Every structure is written in C-alpha cells, then in structure tokens.
Structure 1
Amino acid sequence: MTITAAADGSALGNPGPAGWAWYVNDDCWRAGGWPHGTNNQGELMAVLDLFRSTAHLPGEKLHILCDSQYVINSVTKWMPGWKRKGWRKSDGKPVMNVDLLKDIDRALTGRMYTFEWVRGHAGHDLNEAADDRARAAATAYQQGVAVRQGPGFGPAQEGATLQGTTQEGAAPAYATPADAAPPAQAAPAARPAAPLRGGQQELFSTPDLFSTPDLFSELDEPVPAAGGDMSPEAIVESLERELLRPETRADLGRTGVLLHPDFTEIGSSGRIWTRDDSMMALEENPDRPTDLEVLGAERLGEGAILLTYRSYSRSGTALHSSLWVLDGTQWRLRFHQGTPEA
C-alpha cells in the first residue's frame, strides 16, 4: 500500500508568520509554524514532519504531492550533489535552509517514497486541504492565537488512512532518487519534541533555528516599498533593472522577494515558467549583465503597473512586458514575457 499525502507551506509576507501542513484526510493531518519564516521553509518542514510522523511505518511507501518544485528538486535532484560538496552549491555558496535539508536527508533514510508535482491553487483536493491548514497556522501566529495542530498520524489513524491510499503501481512524476538508502535500512525514529507555548512542538535539535536571519532577511539592501519619495513607476523600473543583474538572479533570497508567489513567465520558446522554475534556473545560470530601455510604464489600477521595455545583451535585443503588482507594501513581479527582436 502507498500513503498519499499533500505537503504545503505558507508565509504571510514571505518572510513573516509562517505555517506548514501535510494532509492525508480529515482524520489524518498535521500543521505547525513559526512567528517568522519563509514559504520555502514551510514547504520543507511539511515534508520533514510527514517523514517523521510516519517513521513508525517504514515499510509503507510515501507518495508526496507537492506544489513546490524547489522542494522536489532539492530532495530528488540537488541534495546528493550538495552533500558531496559539503552542503555548498556549485558556486561555492552555502545551501539555503541547510538545517531543514539535513534533517530531511536523515529522515528519508531507509524510506520508500515518490514526489509528484501538483499545481497549487488549482482545485486539487489534497493540495487545497494542506494549503488551507498551512495558511491557517501562519494566520494563527500572525494573530497570536493557538495553532490547530491536527490529529497527526498515529495508531488510531492508520486503519482509516490506509483505506484511502493508492495501490502500488501508480506512476508519479518524480521518483525516489537513485542514491537514496536501500529500503532494508531501518528508518530513524522521530526525535523527542519539547513543548512550546500555544501547544506547538519544537521539531528541531536547535531550538532557535528560526530566530536567526533567514534567506530573505539577509538581503544587502531592502526592496523598495510603496510610498516614499519614489513614484510607483520609478520603483518598478528600479526593481526590473535589479532583476536583470547577475548578482540578483543568482541569489535565491533576492529573487524570492522580487517574484510574486504566483509569478509565471512565458518564455521565448513558448514554455510557461513557474516561480520555482524561474528561481532555480536563474540561480544556476544568472547570465551576463543586461541593460534596458523603458518603452512605457502604464498604471492598470491602484496596485498594478505594466512595464514594457527593450533589453540589450550580447545575444541581441528583445521586447519585454512585465506586470508588477503591489503585495502589501512591496511591488512584486506577477507576470513576464519576453520576445527576441527581429
């Protein structure tokens, strides 16, 4: 039998009050969060807690539904290489969220699992249920109230839960990485959890993991916010120029702030890129410096600006349109399309 569960994370402000959740059914789910964290940290923590919560069932396969390609690629593609390099990326910089990734690496030892990408906010029942609970946890921390943790995955839930799981032979999009430990190796037991205020539990060996600066709070300079001396059009142009700089494109934290959580891009080949796709591709190949000539900046409402421009690079010129929207007090890129100029 295979246990099918969705895992999701949420951050209000990203970074900000953050939550995570995994969901099998209404009788089998779990959620938690922190006063300050990022969406990626929530996504990773949901996967980690799912492995820990099912550690007493090492013989059961896990089929994990996830809308974050960052998480899927981190676990199934990049983590083995990061480990060989001492948890550093190809450019020698430390891997982001390394504590969570190390814990996931330990938790999946001996486990049988597959990942499947599902599009977020697209009506997938399990994904929507996990997203609702992760956002509720983040909201609870924002409001200073207790988080609904859920029943978890204990002996009382096993019978009911496994009746709703899928049979072996399903073909998810992502398979267990080839270098994962063999299934015969026993899975590690979950670590003891220390109680925290509000009924939450600390699932890390380092209690203050999220009291240290995260990948977004380590930015060299703040993202321009709405208001101040700069006009919205000037702010958007400044941010667009920033996104064209190689040092920005190579920084996951920076692009994570500049790109809206629902960002999409239509590339010159016609491919549709998600936010996670774009962030990973930019980090791996930040390219050379690019200059731009603004063609227009049109306000589409109180909180939306359409920026059109021509870019100049060694490969030639291209025409671009970027839709920037106001997310709270910050402008973020919601949609982009670029077409090489004849």
Structure 2
Amino acid sequence: MTITAAADGSALGNPGPAGWAWYVNDDCWRAGGWPHGTNNQGELMAVLDLFRATAHMPAEDLLILCDSQYVINAVTKWMPGWKRKGWRKADGKPVLNVDLLKDIDRELVGRKYTFEWVRGHAGHELNEAADDRARAAATAYQQGVAVRQGPGFGTPEGATEAAPEGAPAQAGPTDSTAPRTAARQAARPATDSAPPQAPRTTPPQAAPSFAGQQELFGAPGPVGEAGPFGRPGVFDEPDLFSELDEEQAGAGAPADISPESVVESLERELLRPETRADLGRTGVLLHPDFTEIGSSGRIWTRDAMLMALEDNPGGPTELELLGADRLGEQTILLTYRTRNRAGSALRSSLWVLEGAQWRLRFHQGTPEA
C-alpha cells in the first residue's frame, strides 16, 4: 500500500509566525508551528513530522506531494553532497535549517518514499488542505491561540516537534491547549555544538507599507505585513537554487532564433504571474548573482526576490519593447515599458548567457509620471 500525503508550510511575514501541516484525509492529518520561522522551515518540518508519524509503518511506501522545489531538491539531491562537505554548500557556506535536515536524513533510513512536485495554490485537493492547515497554525501563533494539531496517525513514539534554527522551541504534540509564552521563545542553537541564543528581547520593527510600488516586473509589495519588505537582513534562507543540475537550467534555444528574441521571450515569461509564483522556474531564470534596484530604492537580492514573489506574484503586466541591444556575445540589454493596475514604468534588464541558459543578472524599474 502507498500512503499519499501532502506536506506544506506557511509563514506570515517570512520570517514570522510559522506553521506546517501534512494531510492524507480529513481523518488523518497533523499541524504545528512556531512563533517565528520561515516558509522553508515549515515545509521541512511538515516532511519530518510525516516521516515520524509513519515510522510505525516502515513497510509502506510514502508518496509526499510538495510544492516546494527547495525541500524536494534538498532531500533528494543536495543532502548527500552537504553531508560529504560537513553540511556545507558548494560555496563553503553552512547549510541553514541543518537541524531539521539532519533529522530528516535520519528518518529516511529504511524507508521507501517518493517526492512529487505539485503546483501550489492551483486547486490540488491534498495540497490545498495541507496549505489551509499550515496557514491556520501560523495564524494561531500570530493571534496567541491554541493550534489545531489534528488526529495524525495516532501518537507514534518520537513524533515530537523540533524547532528550526533560529525558531523558538515549543511543546510537543501533547501540549495542545497551553498558549506559548515569551519565556519559551529562546532560540535553538544554529548547529549541534553552538550555544543557545538569548531570547528575543527587542520588539520587531514596524513594517512600512509599500502599497502601489512597482518592484520586479511590476509586482507590488504586500501592504501592512511584517516582512518580507519590513526589515533588512531577514532573508537568511539558503540560496534556493544554487545547486541545480545543469540539465535543470534548461536547454538552449534553436539556432534559427536570435538571442535577442530568446531573451525577450524569457522576459515576457517572467512577467506572467504563474511564472513568478513558480519558484522552480523563476529560480532558473534569475542569475545566482541577480540584483535589482527597485522603484522604492531598495536593493533586492535573488533569494529575497524569490521569497517575495512566492508570497505575492502580482497580477498581469503588459510589455512594450523599446530596445534589445547586444553588449557582447553573452550579454543583452533589454529596455521596455510595462503597464499594469499600478500604472506604467520604464525598465531595463541585463541578461547574461550562462552555459546554454540566458539568465537575468540585473533589473531596474522607474515609474512613469
């Protein structure tokens, strides 16, 4: 028999109040969360708890439906290399969320499992059910009320929650009614040997409103929501797609299509909400060193932009091409005008050829008067 379950995470602010959930059916699901965490931590915790909850059924195949390319790649592709390097990425930087990843790695031993990517927020019944419960858990932490944890598969031994790096510890699954207090918000150590961090004592900065602003490809920032636009330096998630295999970057275009036409087509693709909401595809099109100077004056990194677009991909945007200029054999500058509900803007994008794939290296936009 195969157990089919969706696993999902949610963070209100990213980072912010965070939740996670896995869902098989209305009689078999579980959820939890933390006062402060990220989407990635929630996604990983949902997978970890699903493995723990089914540990008493090791002979059963497990099909995990997940809308996070980061989680799927981390578990199925990147972890062996990270382990060989002492849990460090290819660039030598430490792997974040390492405690959760190590726990998942231990749970995989002797298990038969398959991950399947599903598009989030696209009407997939199991994914939507997991997403609803993960968001409800995050909302409960935001409001300081008890989390509905669900029936689970029973109470298998060891199925307790582990706080991710930088997230406060919380009670195990039996503590379903007591609200979390400030005294329990001491952060876990960032590594197995690191000393515990001091509890958070400074109040979070208020997040400014960015209503009506046009950032990457005309996607407006969220209004009245702490992060991802509220505080600098909160985007401490790993480089989500820094270790994609070459074949994942996409094949080159046919020889009879000019590079300028290819780049224009890719720019138009990035304007579509369905592309911006797809972290896998957007991560391929954005160069690892992507930078944007937004219309607000903020400098955006690639990871920050990926997370912002995941939460708010924006609406449809029209493109009027003004120019496509070759600056070199592997560099093309696009200039164009966009129009959407927020108004019009003049934009420039610098695309570079990396292997067989054109990738966006730099973008800047200026609203028209």
Query: In the alignment, does 2:87 pair up with 1:87?
Result: yes
Q: Report SS of the residue matched to 2:96.
A: coil
Q: Give the equivalent residue in structure 2 for 1:48.
A: 48
> What CA deviation, in whole Å up to 9, does each residue of 1:230-253 have, x standing for no partner?
x965x848x99xxxxxxx9xx764
Q: Report SS of the residue matched to 1:81.
A: helix
Q: How has the CA–CA distance of structure 1 residues 224 and 192 changed in structure 2, closer, same or farther, with 3 Å as cutoff?
A: closer
Q: How has the CA–CA distance of structure 1 residues 266 and 225 changed in structure 2, closer, same or farther, with 3 Å as cutoff?
A: farther
Query: In the alignment, does 2:316 pair up with 1:317?
Result: no
Deviation at 1:37, TM superposition (A): 0.6
* Cα separation, 2, equivalents of 1:32 and 1:191: 12
> Of 200, 206, 209, which aligns to 1:226?
209
What does residue range 150-229 of structure 1 map to in structure 2 within 5 Å?
150-154=150-154, 190=158, 195=172, 198-199=176-177, 208-209=186-187, 225-226=208-209
* Cα separation, 1, equivalents of 2:341 and 2:82: 35
Q: Larger relative contact order (C-alpha < 8 A, sep ≥ 6)?
A: 1
Give 1:72's aligned amino acid. I
Q: Give the equivalent residue in structure 2 for 1:140.
A: 140
Query: In the alignment, does 2:88 pair up with 1:102?
Result: no
Q: Give the equivalent residue in structure 2 for 1:267.
A: 266
Query: In the alignment, does 2:124 pair up with 1:124?
Result: yes
Native 8 Å contact 1:267 1:337 kept in 2: no
What does residue range 5-24 of structure 1 map to in structure 2 within 5 Å?
5-24=5-24
* Structure 1 gap segments, 5+ residues each: 156-187, 241-247, 257-264, 294-302, 327-335
Superposition CA RMSD, Å: 4.9
Q: How has the CA–CA distance of structure 1 residues 25 and 289 changed in structure 2, closer, same or farther, with 3 Å as cutoff?
A: closer
Q: Give the equivalent residue in structure 2 for 1:64.
A: 64
* Cα separation, 2, equivalents of 1:324 and 1:253: 30
Residues matched between the structures, number: 259
Q: How has the CA–CA distance of structure 1 residues 97 and 322 changed in structure 2, closer, same or farther, with 3 Å as cutoff?
A: farther
Native 8 Å contact 1:252 1:279 kept in 2: no
Normalised by the length of structure 2, the TM-score is: 0.56
* Structure 2 gap segments, 5+ residues each: 162-170, 191-195, 220-231, 241-263, 296-313, 353-369
Query: In the alignment, does 2:37 pair up with 1:37?
Result: yes
Normalised by the length of structure 1, the TM-score is: 0.60
Deviation at 1:306, TM superposition (A): 7.1
Q: Give the equivalent residue in structure 1 for 2:248.
A: none
Deviation at 1:200, TM superposition (A): 7.6
Q: Report SS of the residue matched to 1:267.
A: helix
* Cα separation, 2, equivalents of 1:13 and 1:146: 20
Q: How has the CA–CA distance of structure 1 residues 236 and 111 changed in structure 2, closer, same or farther, with 3 Å as cutoff?
A: same
Q: How has the CA–CA distance of structure 1 residues 90 and 150 changed in structure 2, closer, same or farther, with 3 Å as cutoff?
A: same
Give 1:286's aligned amino acid. P
Deviation at 1:340, TM superposition (A): 6.8
Deviation at 1:7, TM superposition (A): 0.4
Q: How has the CA–CA distance of structure 1 residues 8 and 191 changed in structure 2, closer, same or farther, with 3 Å as cutoff?
A: closer
Native 8 Å contact 2:9 2:43 kept in 1: yes
Q: How has the CA–CA distance of structure 1 residues 21 and 113 changed in structure 2, closer, same or farther, with 3 Å as cutoff?
A: same
